[in-house]
Structure 1
Amino acid sequence: MKPIIEINKLSKKYKYGVSQPYYSLRDSLTNWITDPVKVLAGNKKTDMGQFWALKDIDLNVKEGEIVGIIGRNGAGKTTLLKVLSRITPPTEGKAVLRGRVASLLEVGTGFHPELTGRENIFLNGAILGMSRVEVRKKFDDIVDFAEIERFLDTPVKRYSSGMHMRLAFAVAAHLEAEILLIDEVLSVGDTAFQQKSLGKMENISQSGRTILFVSHNLGMVKKLCLKGIIIKDGRSSKLTAIDELINTYQQSRQTSSASIRLNRYNLEFINFRVNGISVKDEPEVFPESQMEITAEYKGSGNKSYDLCLSFALRKKEDYTLMYYSHNHLENVRHMTEKKGSISLRFHLPHVSPGKYTLETQIWLDGNLVTDGFEMGDLTVVSAPAFASHKSFANFPAHLLIPSLWRIRK
């Protein structure tokens, strides 16, 4: 039997300094009407070089498999799913997908902002080739799963990012597509919905449908997938058992530097530090002490962006322990300049000792441009828990909170 996804020598090239819009009919017609001379002449911007976002990707996926795709930001993971979704064409090679494809690439992708949630459900069904009768049979299940019944007749442009994601996942999971492409969108949802979605994906796989799953959450990848690939600098590893793959990826991260380059915005984030120590050096911190996380950035200074950073502390592959965001949670705003830095200081409570991964998210002008970037690891040192003088490692919990006990006779 032929694989349901067959990728052979797939490559995608982009040019620095050259705008390459997606090939939509609306964009093409608009360009012809507004500036036909420019369309005929082509883009005359200076070619500042080129790079391969993907290079010689080979991958065969059998029907019913869930394959994890991991790698650092900018490695090419999202580009691969966009090519497979036919959003952007490959430069070289080919990809054959033997079945209908539903994709969740970015929050809101596939939705018309002016249409209501109800109308977008039917629109997505039509795109997949389903009749209104077929969509109606799935409609109640979609609405129940997405938990948006009260807002069903509200235009989706008024939905929060979490509502967007819940509806998008529910639509893709319940409508009849043989192949599901998922790119990190579950990071937007709350923990309860993430667990519900993971269970749904496991059911999808058991029903014979196929999933390609991109995520920075290694615990989620490990729980859901049996096999996976690493994409690094546009090239992929061989399809490997997931435990071995994650071990290889974690070892490679220990030797890499922590920086985020956003070429589109002419910004680079560098020098991530914890208490003044570079995250590359795996700093140690003590519970019940002050902790400071600092990030610096530099750019051209030609344009200023409304910057929002968040930091999260993840217990390796297991769970997110803490999350901080200066804009979303504290309403502290910052417009980028030619260079600058942002620091977060907080009291680290008495948490379980061991290694944690420090992650960041970056928003520019309200758009999520970096999600779940792993800056590096830090170690929370084992320390006596309050008056017990016993190590926290002996307690079956992740967090100890100071408390006041009263005993009466």
Structure 2
Amino acid sequence: MILENARIDDIELYEVKIPLKIPFQISGGVSYFRKSLIIVLHSGEYVGYGEAAPFEEPYYSSETISSVKMLYLELLFKRILGEEINSIEHINDILSKGVRGNNFAKAGMENAYWDLLCDINKISLKELITYKLKQLEVNEEYINNEDYIESGVSVGIPIDNSIDTLKQWVKEYIEEGYKRIKIKIKPGWDINALKAVREVIGDFPLWTDSNSSFNFEKHKDMFKAMDEYNCLFHEQPLNHDDILDHAKLARYIKTPICLDESLKSSIIGAQALEIEASRIWNVKIQRIGGLLEGLKIYKLATNNNVKLWGGTMPESGIGAIPIMNLSSFKGFCYPADVEASERWYGKNQDIVEINMNKQGQIYLPKCNGIQEIINWNNFKNFTTRIYSSK
């Protein structure tokens, strides 16, 4: 029998700052460090780790590290400290009561509770996910899973805005074993970048990611021109809270549309299906408010022939563990954005090291809780404790 209840005796909060190997630029801004927050929940001798990983500025979502920190310290920590939590559903209800949005904040705490339950029950996260998928009555076929995921690389916009730099990066990533290429685009860095990459990689799997930077009326014909480059799909080309214009674009061009920023819940997913906006979805645990919502989206998708893949912000290795495990289930069709730690930070610089083999496979860590696989030297070097309830 799997226990889902725990009394929260203590909470710790850490700020993380890991230098990036190469600055990562998307349409909204540039990151030079992976800054995030690590939440640690204690229940007696047991402990659970979670990560909230918004950016410092609100260019991906409305949340920032500062806003999440404030919500934790002024509201959410007080709600669960000293309380007996009855289930994963219960902690989600507690975090959501009277709180609209703030999904990154919710995800960090909710994921820490999943990890706490893994420690209490001495089971892997994949075993716990399997248990909850069965509770949700997901089709048995889609409870099948692998011990690994396939990894694809997300290629940012070079700081020097050089097509030659982009082409060199792409060559190197393919040689390292990544199973597909995704390039970031924005107005002014779009079709020429796509054309150059396609010339380098031939018919290798490729898609674009706009991070909501284009406008339907202004740019629809450019996306139609992109049809000739045979992308698997275009990820979130239009506004971050839009599904209507995405439905229009889906009817206007041949290349399929994938939802990212606008897919904040299973409710939005159901609406997207109704208006035929997209049947390819990127599941980001941070964006949707936690792993339980990810399971609900998984059930909706597998019931409706929607193709899924796992996305990251990216987080540190701690934050990547939930989507790594969920992405190992059969309903995930495309290589995930989970990448080797070395790609982001350099070798042995992550708090939890993620390794990829030459076949582009990342095997799930064998552990009954994240604390078993943390690099404690890196944890000490890259984190600062800013709160403890004791």
Q: Which has the larger radius of gyration?
A: 1
State TM-score, norm by structure 1: 0.30
Q: Which has the higher helix share?
A: 2
Higher relative contact order (CA 8 A, sep 6+): 2
Q: Which has the higher strand share?
A: 1
